[in-house]
Amino acid sequence: MCLNKTLHIIHYVIAALMLSTSAIYFVVTYQQFTDESGSGIHEIPNEKEVEQGTSDMDSSQWSELDLSGKIQTVFFLAVALVYIPVGIWMLKQKHSNKPHIIALGGSLSLILFYIASRTVSFPIVGIQGDVGSIDIVTKIFQSGIVVGSTYLTVARKRLESNISQ
């Protein structure tokens, strides 16, 4: 298979990974808005629940979890919203490296932020100890975006330099 055809396929795979990752983050955002299992955005218990002890946590702990959940939800929504235009930009400008470089930087930043959130205590959210299947899938997709975008931009630069010589 010729190099141009390979680069063309890689380009579309990266765009698909971008849009798929966005869709996953939209699903996570929706789940966090509607989660009643206790891991999403929480309702602050009323005073009666706190006084009667029917709540597992006091109101300050609920407020902290509520804020943490809101921050995570807004973060996931922001990522979902940013991945869409970059993915569409890739589809519209098939020979431009700019959207791939942005996708590479953004995805690499999210991977590093994920690792940091599991090893460093951030204000409000603390250290995140959970690693779920959605985390693994998004990190695999984002790794594919990083590797694919790196390969694509380097190969295009080499191809351009060979053509100009």
In a 3-state reduction of DSSP, which class is residue 126?
Answer: strand
88-116 per-residue burial string, b: 16 or more CB within 10 A, e: under 16: ebbeeeeeebebbebbbebbbebbeebee
Percent of the chain beyond pLDDT 90? Answer: 50
Question: Rounded to whole angstroms, how far apart are CA atoms 32 and 30?
Answer: 5
| Domain containing residue 13 | 3-164
SS3 122: strand
* Res. 101: pLDDT tops 90: yes
Average pLDDT over every residue of 38-66: 50
Say which residue the tokens 């109101």 belong to. 59
- Asked if residue 95 has pLDDT above 70, the reply is yes
Residue 53: pLDDT band (50, 70, 90) is: low
Q: Could you read off the pLDDT of 122-136 as tens digits, one per residue?
A: 777 778 887 888 999
Pair of tokens at residue 155: 């190969």
Number of domains present in the structure of the chain = 1
